Amino acid sequence: MDKDKYIGRLLDGRYEILEVLGVGGMAVVYKAMCHRLNRLVAIKILKDEFSRDEEFRARFQAESQAVAMLSHPNIVSVYDVGTSDGADHIIMELIDGISLKQYMEKKGVLNWKETLHFAMQIAKALEHAHSRGLVHRDIKPHNVMVLKNGSVKVADFGIAQVTSQSSTVTKEALGSVHYISPEQAKGGRVDNRSDLYSLGIVMYEMIAGRVPYDGDTPVSVAIQHINGGAVPPSQFNPNTPKGLEQIIMKALGLRLEDRYPSATAMLYDMDEFRKDPEMVFPEPEGAPVTPAPPVPPVEPKPVPQVTRTIAQRTAAGKSEKIREPRKKPEEGNGRGATIAIASCAVVGAIAIIIFLVILIQGDLFGGPKMVPVPPLVGEYYDQLGTIEGIVVVHQSSEHDPDTQKGQIIYQSPEPGIQVVEGTKVFVIVSLGRQEPDRTMEDLEGHTADEAELYLKGLDLGLNVKRFDQNSDDIPQGSVVRTEPAAGLPLTKGQTVELYVSAGPGIETKRVPNVLGQTVETAMRNMVLAGFHNVEPKEVDSDQPKGTVVEQSAKVDTLIESGRKIILSVSRGPKVPSTTQPVERTISYRFPLPEHSGSVKLSILCGDEWIVEDETVGKGVDGYDVTLTGMGSKDYSIYIDGDYIETVTVEF
């Protein structure tokens, strides 16, 4: 699929495709402008190979339409699903942020507060989707978007179910293998608890800086999921609170019944831990004991085939049972057997000696070479260079008050231990002294100057920027909100955005038609419509004196409510009329707008209510009233208290 072929095209007659945002295994995501609603959106368009598969397209459309029914602040909104010019697509909310994976790669190991902050939002998204019968099936940090205000949104709900049914979608599956549940790895049935397992993996990665299961091939990782036995994250990050670790390990239960039964239950424990970070949940009866820290793997070279064969035979000889002969052996044969047994014993002893020599010496018959592990604690990691015989692996970083940033504070295996040449030695590197945790205070309502003075006084080198934002509640010049939001962590050199109240926003109202009305009635109707800056101006006209013959604001348009409106009012005809008006009594039927039920009708003439709160039934299109007057009079009609129109009656 040529990903650029859609740029510049107008999809569905309204979405102008602007640029490519990203390319996935089955689709390309574009930024587009919706010209109907004047907003930016994201459009995911299926690649050609999938658009040609009718069965896949049908599943894609059905699943996407189901996802479009989800509505939650922590789920990326799906606006529409369709096909245009052969392009199967999903119209989605455009997210201004980065993926959680990118965030973790940028920050490294997250502290427990951030881990919990992100995890609870993901769990709330799952809770909502699960309540609608939708299982995500592909929860991973790549599918979680982090917004500038610290909130997260989960993307690609339901799409994994479509891709999992297509044998051609392999690249996406391989990218997700570190986060799949054991039942997914085995190709079994999944339910809500499969998503909770994947969430547990994401939490583990946030707090430990690594996934619990890793390997050289996707198959090896999948097998580890199936076998279970993940090492608790505290073995990689000793600052992991016990309560949070318990939540993670419960989510990673090997069997479905060992995990949380629902996202709601998992959220409950998260909230309990949030209230008391020192808490420890009671362990269930028969719970396994936490395993000891893992020993870094030794990677020996292959043992020569002849030696392995002898050793295998020797080992096998210990376990095999000697079968009883069916007939009694002859005396000669018995002697031969004795000699054979003695010979085998000698050969076995020689094999054991050779095997031990290989383990200790390591160079017999070209066997693996053994080297001692050098002392690395106290050395600066960036200055190590290449060390002959071993491979140094940076496992994680931790704050340590007694060492300089960059110094190694822990290594495994320990110095002096003999290991096979090429063995990996895992080290933990110091981050130096940990600065006190700083979080964004709630600055809403404080003046912008006060807020900026406070932030600069934190001695974090914060870059403070101000932006105007209309607000009906916050006084002008005071803080409406901040990014990051209150309660989120602050780091050195971070940019903090202050959104400062610019006062109430511009209010617009619809201009009524007051032409032909008396100036008094017209002024009153303008006020009722929300316009208070109205000024009458007399002009020459053949219309009766005091009649509005022109208005400066066009009828039925939306304008600012504070804008000045000029009403041109007739001075009256220059030649006096010879006709004297005569008072008359008439019956007049006032037209009523269509209404679906009973309404309250009121009719106002000048300062007098001709009709007040009269009940008019469904379907009635007019109301008869007996009127007395001379010349012409204006009558304003109200339905349920709302102004409808003004009618001029001639007598």
Q: Name the residues annotated as catalytic.
A: 138
Which tokens belong to 409? 């504070």
Burial 477-501 (b: 16+ CB within 10 A, else e): ebbbbbbbeeebbbeeebebebbbb
The answer to whether the CB of 146 falls within 8 A of the CB of 124 is no
Determine the Cα–Cα distance for residues 145 and 73; give it in Å rounded to an integer: 12
C-alpha angle 156-161-164 in degrees, rounded to nearest 5: 115
The answer to whether the CB of 431 falls within 8 A of the CB of 109 is no
Task: Please give the biggest Cα pair distance in the chain.
Answer: 160
Burial 345-360 (b: 16+ CB within 10 A, else e): eeebeebeebbeebee
- Cis link prior to 413 (omega < 30° from 0)? yes
CA atoms within 13 A on the CB side of 238: 7
Tokens 């808490």 sit at which residue?
Answer: 279
Which tokens belong to 90? 């999903």
Strand partners, 452: none
Tokens 């993307």 sit at which residue?
Answer: 155
Determine the Cα–Cα distance for residues 196 and 374; give it in Å rounded to an integer: 42
Mind spelling out the 3-state secondary structure of 170-182?
A: CHHHHHCHHHCCH
Closest by CA to 160, choosing from 148, 175, 149, is 175
